[in-house]
Amino acid sequence: MVHAQKIFSVIVMVFALVISSQVLAADAKDLDKDAKKSLTNLENSNPTAKHVASQAKAVLIFPNIVKAGLIFGGGYGEGVLQKDGVVDDYYNSVTASWGLQAGGQSYSYVVYLMTDKAVKYLKDSKGWEIGVGPTVVVVNEGVAKNLSTTALKEDAYAFIFGQQGLMAGVSLEGTKISKIKR
């Protein structure tokens, strides 16, 4: 038991160092710039994302999420909410997980909010736990093939992209998005 606690402590310290050096270094201006670049890259490389964007009420952009774990894991990143192409608010994304996992990675994700109800829920809640509240569809290649203008019926569509590192799988399960001050 003591051995497991030491391993967990080391993981937490390494994770804190990774987060502090890669994620928390950005100021609001840098975060705005990184978010705009990430959104442009996604929409230029993914026609489905561009299509969904044309129908969205707002877009939540997390340009850099850092995730690490060994049995227990966590991830953190900061992002922006844009309405009509203008930054409206700042948010963080915190992920917790456990299971057969080891390694670390970084990735980006964008959530297109399709309804006024979804935007209101994000702004009014004291933290949006993905899976509670508005319905979020994670768009992968299979989902993308079936999306059309008339098929966009859910509250939000999430695109995960730009994965780098040595950790298998990325999901938004166990993620909480909360408003922050910048």
CA distances to 1, 42, 81, 137, 167 from 110, rounded to whole Å, are: 40, 8, 10, 12, 20
Q: Is the pLDDT of residue 105 over 90?
A: no
pLDDT of residue 145: 46
What does the pLDDT average to over 86-98? 90
pLDDT classification of 133: cutoffs 50, 70, 90: low
User: Alpha-carbon distance 25 to 106, whole Å?
Assistant: 15
- In 46-109, which ranges are continuous DSSP H helix? 47-53
Between residues 8 and 90, the one the model is more confident about: 90
CA distances to 32, 104, 107, 137, 180 from 169, rounded to whole Å, are: 27, 11, 11, 17, 27
Average pLDDT, the chain: 80
Q: 9: how many CB neighbours lie within 10 A of its CB?
A: 10
21: domain range?
A: 2-180
User: What is the count of structural domains for the chain?
Assistant: 1
pLDDT of residue 172: 63
How much is the pTM? 0.79
Q: Is the pLDDT of residue 60 over 90?
A: yes
What does the pLDDT average to over 8-31? 58
Q: Is the pLDDT of residue 180 over 50?
A: yes
